[in-house]
Amino acid sequence: MTRTGGGREVHIAGVAETALGEVHDQTELSMFALAAREALAEAGMTLRDVDGLFVNYMGEEGTVQVGEYLGVTAPRYLDSTDIGGAAFEAFVHHAMLAVAEGRCEVALIGYASRQRTRRARNIGGGAVDLDSLAAQFQTPYGLPAPIGHYAMMAARHMHEYGTTPEQLAEIAVAARAWARLNPKAWSRDPLTVDQALSSRMISTPLRRSDCCLVTDGGAAVVVTSADRARDARKPSVRVLGAGESQSHWHIASMPDMTVTAGAVSAREAFGMAGITASDVDVLQPYDSFTVTVLLALEDLGFCAKGEAGAFVSGGRLAPGGALPAMTSGGGLSYNHPGALGALLLVEAVRQLRGEAGDRQVADAEIAVAHGVGGYNSTASTVVLAR
Amino acid sequence: MTQTYGDAVTAPFWAGASEGRLLLQRCDSCGAHRFYPRPFCLSCDDDRSTWTAVSGAGVVYSKTEVQVKVLPGLAPPYTVAVVELAEGPRMTALIVGADGEPGPGCEIGDAVDVAWRPREDAPPLPVFRRRP
Ligand SMILES: [Zn+2]
């Protein structure tokens, strides 16, 4: 196991969730401020220590409104990389490099959203520039966004490899089984494969049960040097490696609908960390849809291309399974605030610290958080170790 | 139609659509067809290309039957596919029946041919029909 490339060893020293579910008594900015203060307190720090901001989707101009709200008025490193749900693992990648090189010392990463309370989702994919390529060549066809894009990937995987709806349902069932162990999870009722397969079809082969939640939520994550992390109130975790990539925007331009950008992001992250998939004790894949997990399992190397359907069968991802994954209940059953990546990091850290309560994975030493954005367009992978 | 549609790079595609012709840029150097339109060939970087009418024949690469309402005037269920043209590029497209109306399904691997779906404020939209 190697240290991060180049400079100093880098840690995550604090994490916190925002208020979750349906949030009526806070704004996005106040939610994030409270989570940031809590995450910094875990790290033994305050907002006065923050000199790097890694934030997006919190108002115009990336980091600036959050920085002003938090009183972080003179940071020396800013990043608002706009790659959707994959931004947050990419922020850890960028913060790791910035801290390792001494360009900042205390990096605050995060996000909050009230997409549920605001009823902000639009299955048409939102308004697009009427001159854009998407407006000319994609949106006139009525492909629901994002689900229709993921549905085409699932259909192609089924066609090439014989993957079944039951196998996709296994992923949703595993997430739900974990959620039942997490008091903060939004959906905690029991879910069986049969129940999943009787939920409403939306865009074949994907049903309601294949889709993530739409909830309010968010998280804050503090990345700092190993030296600074010594003051943390809780054990900090090491950032062993990180990577990111992208593949396509328009569905017709996805080079292979069964291969995602995760193949590159994981190769980079695992290579930097000096690990392989078999070293991973607990996995936090981006479960925007069941098929997002299915493809990631192959692209990250947990099984060969085409084998993820069989791999997830028999509860392998569920509590007691060989590869504990989505241990918070994930975006499918715990919380999905529009961009899940920051919450994946929170859960990975808590598992490595051994503070995950009833859902704790015994002796978890290496955790992976894998972010995905857009229409399975972007990916970023982070390897953490206790 | 006299008014151009699309953008500076795509306008010839839509001019072709207005005449019911599927026009793709064909690279004058290496012969590769490209879609969507771009100012040079991504295979060989050559700028020179000719807008060329293609066969409109293709094969379904993937598809989804949509069972929720997405657009006004497009009642579910209908099938959206990604079609791989005989000339290589892939296009997103609606699957229509012999009557030109959306609704019929298709399977991955089905042979399809281009058809044109009239629109009120824009050139006809290229869609695809299963080959009988
Ligand atoms: Zn060429």
Asked, for residue A205, whether it belongs to a domain, the answer is yes
ipTM: 0.97
Is there a single domain that holds both residue A172 and residue A304?
yes
Asked, for residue A134, whether it belongs to a domain, the answer is no
Asked if the Cβ–Cβ distance from B78 to A159 is below 8 Å, we say no
Is there a single domain that holds both residue A87 and residue A192?
no
Asked if the Cβ–Cβ distance from A136 to B63 is below 8 Å, we say no
Asked if the Cβ–Cβ distance from B82 to A252 is below 8 Å, we say yes
Is there a single domain that holds both residue A163 and residue A298?
yes
Whether the pLDDT of residue B109 is over 50: the answer is: yes
Is there a single domain that holds both residue A71 and residue A191?
no
Is there a single domain that holds both residue A275 and residue A190?
yes
- Segments in chain A below pLDDT 50: 1-5
The string of DSSP letters for A111-178 reads EEE-TTTTT---TB-S---TTSHHHHHTGGGT--BTHHHHHHHHHHHHHHH---HHHHHHHHHHHHHH
Is there a single domain that holds both residue A93 and residue A231?
yes
Tell the burial category of A126 from Cβ atoms under 10 Å away from its Cβ (0-12, 13-18, 19+).
exposed
pLDDT band at B3 (very low <50, low <70, confident <90, very high): low
Q: Which amino acid, residue A287?
A: D
What tens digit of pLDDT does each residue of A255-312 get? 999 999 999 999 999 999 999 999 999 999 999 999 999 999 999 999 999 999 999 9
Residue A2 backbone phi and psi in degrees, to 5? -105, 160
Closest-CA residue in chain A for B38? Answer: A133
Q: Which of B7, B63, B78 is opposite residue A152, by nearest beta carbon?
A: B63
Q: Is the peptide bond before A205 cis (omega within 30 degrees of 0)?
A: yes
pLDDT at A122: 73
Alpha-carbon gap, residue B14 to A284, rounded angstroms: 45
Asked if the Cβ–Cβ distance from B62 to A133 is below 8 Å, we say no
Is there a single domain that holds both residue A374 and residue A232?
no
Is there a single domain that holds both residue A100 and residue A166?
no
Asked if the Cβ–Cβ distance from A143 to B78 is below 8 Å, we say no
Q: What is the mean pLDDT of residues B120-128?
A: 96
pLDDT at A143: 97
Asked, for residue A341, whether it belongs to a domain, the answer is yes
User: B74: which chain A residues are within 8 Å (Cβ-Cβ)?
Assistant: 142
Q: What is the mean pLDDT of residues B119-123?
A: 94
- Count up the domains in chain A and report the number: 2
Closest-CA residue in chain A for B125? Answer: A140
Asked, for residue A199, whether it belongs to a domain, the answer is yes
Domain boundary among A194, A224, A239: A239
Asked, for residue A137, whether it belongs to a domain, the answer is no
Q: Compute the residue count for chain A.
A: 386
Distance A264 CA to ligand 1 centre (A): 27
What tens digit of pLDDT does each residue of B68-79 get? 999 999 999 999
Is there a single domain that holds both residue A188 and residue A99?
no
Chain B residues interacting with chain A (CB cutoff of 8 angstroms): 6-7, 10, 14, 36, 61-68, 70-71, 74, 78, 80, 82, 90-94, 102, 108-109, 119, 122, 125, 127
Q: What is the mean pLDDT of residues B42-60?
A: 98
Asked, for residue A35, whether it belongs to a domain, the answer is yes
| Residue A49 domain boundaries | 10-117+216-239
Q: What is the CATH number of the domain that holds A36?
A: 3.40.47.10
Is there a single domain that holds both residue A206 and residue A329?
yes
Distance A255 CA to ligand 1 centre (A): 18
Residue A165 backbone phi and psi in degrees, to 5? -60, -35
pLDDT at A128: 66
pLDDT at A2: 45
Asked, for residue A52, whether it belongs to a domain, the answer is yes
User: B127: which chain A residues are within 8 Å (Cβ-Cβ)?
Assistant: 141
Cite the beta strand spans of A259-309 per DSSP E.
282-285
Is there a single domain that holds both residue A171 and residue A246?
yes
What tens digit of pLDDT does each residue of B79-91 get? 999 999 999 999 9
Alpha-carbon gap, residue A221 to A231, rounded angstroms: 16
Asked, for residue A149, whether it belongs to a domain, the answer is yes
Structure tokens at A78: 């800013």
pLDDT at A126: 53
Is there a single domain that holds both residue A61 and residue A201?
no
